[in-house]
Amino acid sequence: NVKIVISNKQKAKGLLIAKKMGIKHYFFDFTKSKKRGKIVLNILKENNIKLICLAGFMRLLPAYFIKLFSGKIINIHPSLLPKYKGLNVHQKVILNKEIYTGCTVHHVNKYLDSGKIIFQKKVRITKKDTALSIEKKVLETEHKVYPKAINKVLSSL
């Protein structure tokens, strides 16, 4: 049951879907003020949010935020962590001639893509694959995996 969608990208697909479905949605430009984080925190508290699910979130959360929601923030990352943390994952996979890549759902901690792994799924790479084709395959897998991981985490809360 999605209660709120928050994005730092004004045209994020999640915001458009939330709007269509009548779900509360917010856009915040975090580059203009760090105080926006406290606004987001208040929104989450006011709406009694039990689990925060990050997707396409390209920032490290502040330590106070992670501490307040300890064990209740998860992220999906387009690699088989602990390999290929951060950005440009698909290019790195190709450069290293990997046979498999995939996605990982993990708990968020103060370190980049380093929290406890909840769920992983492999995706086969072919010799014809490009960074873009791998991105599409992994994204398709992410859409299947993330709901399963969310249910798993929610059942343990």
Active-site positions?
77
The one-letter amino acid code at 68 reads: L
CA nearest 129: which of 89, 87, 99, 103? 99
Q: Could you tell me the strand order of the sheet in which 100-107 lies?
A: 52-54, 73-77, 100-107, 117-124
**Contact between 84 and 92 (Cβ < 8 Å):** yes
If residue 134 lies in a helix (H) or strand (E), which one and from where to where? Answer: helix 131-156
